[in-house]
Amino acid sequence: MSKRSVPKKLFLLGAIVGCLFSFGAFAFAVDSAPAGGELCKECHAAEVQEFSSNVHSKAGAYGFAGASCESCHGASASHASTGDIAAISNPAKIDVEAASAGCLNCHSKGKGQMFWHGSIHESQKLACVACHKIHGGNDKLLSKKTETELCITCHLDVRADMFKRSKHPMRDASTPSGEGKMTCSSCHNVHGAKGEKLIDAKSFNDKCYECHQEKKAPLLWEHSPVKEDCMTCHTPHGSSNDKMLVTKVPRLCQQCHMQGRHQSGALGMNSTYAINRGCLNCHSQVHGSNNPSGAILQR
């Protein structure tokens, strides 16, 4: 046996194993194309050109050594030599779970996607690519021009609320009125969250306090439903009542205050107590009062 035959045999063995692997699940490691998509250029010049400005072309710099077209499309060498479409994987066409798993190979550690598993969008069988478009996508690689536009394609009830009289400024950012200052993700993490309804905070109130801090301050005279849940009186997206209220005053108040020293319940609409802005004319501090004599929320 010559000195060189051992490595040769090993090489042969390696080649055979390599071939087997290229038909199996481990193809990734062996059948690899250069990171920049050199192999793909010939037939996909547009994709390769566009990809050079995609954050994914720099995945290596984020610690994903060897990232390439194959990170998402799987082993590609045999497709690249034949152009056979059956030999390549397109995340937009394969099984939803498998497609998302491919993305989560790199995106499960970050805070953003940490709660994806078990989230409502996952359980509704939305893949990452239901909202994201990798090649030629918009900001954040979204498939639509704005986030709001994306969400309201499915959430028509929210779309309707957004156009009501009183609403959070979530409409198209291009409008001059300062609309578009907020997006759905000001409050929701669509990828899953600890809180209910994909709210990206411990509770609904904690989310509201992020921007309406003054409502959080401890008060001498609290109005107990306020600290419990803002949503008792407000809707989050929009309402045809003033100040995004779920119901008009006085009826809003009368839902809880049926009986009072001035018989606040079931007042006729022309009662002194219910007239005009009703209760708020006198009880203006509906979120609570810091005035020593503000016990009835009147100052």
For ligand HEC, the binding residues in 67-96 under the rule CB under 6 A are 67, 69, 71-73, 76, 79-80, 83, 85, 88, 90-93
Specify the residue for token string 């008792």: 232
Question: HSE-up of 284 (CA within 13 Å, CB side)?
Answer: 5
In the complex, least distance from residue 203 CB atom to ligand HEC, rounded to whole angstroms: 9
Q: Which is nearer to ligand HEC, 18 or 271 (CB)?
A: 271
Q: Kindly tell me the burial class for residue 62, based on how many C-beta atoms sit within 10 Å of its own C-beta (0-12, 13-18, 19 or more).
A: exposed
In the complex, least distance from residue 13 CB atom to ligand HEC, rounded to whole angstroms: 27
Q: Which of 21, 28, 155, 164 binds ligand HEC (CB under 6 A)?
A: 155
DSSP single-letter state for residue 234: B
In the complex, least distance from residue 223 CB atom to ligand HEC, rounded to whole angstroms: 5
Q: Which is nearer to ligand HEC, 9 or 243 (CB)?
A: 243
| Contacts of ligand HEC in 112-131 (CB under 6 A) | 112-113, 116, 120-121, 124, 126, 128-131
Instruction: Say how far apart CA 67 and CA 103 lie, in whole Å.
Output: 12
| Contacts of ligand HEC in 218-257 (CB under 6 A) | 223-226, 230-234, 236-237, 243-245, 249-250, 252-257
Please answer whether residues 114 and 108 qualify as being in contact, where contact means their C-beta atoms are separated by less than 8 angstroms.
Answer: yes
- Strands of 59-99 (E only): list them: none
Instruction: Say how far apart CA 282 and CA 284 lie, in whole Å.
Output: 6
Residues near ligand HEC (CB under 6 A), total: 131
Q: What are phi and psi of 66, to 5 degrees?
A: 80, 10
Asked whether position 186 contacts ligand HEC by CB under 6 A, the answer is yes
| Contacts of ligand HEC in 252-281 (CB under 6 A) | 252-257, 260-262, 264, 267, 272-274, 278-281
Q: What are phi and psi of 159, to 5 degrees?
A: -60, -45
Asked whether position 169 contacts ligand HEC by CB under 6 A, the answer is yes
Give, in order, the Cα–Cα distances in Å from 272 to each of 250, 259, 299.
Answer: 12, 16, 19
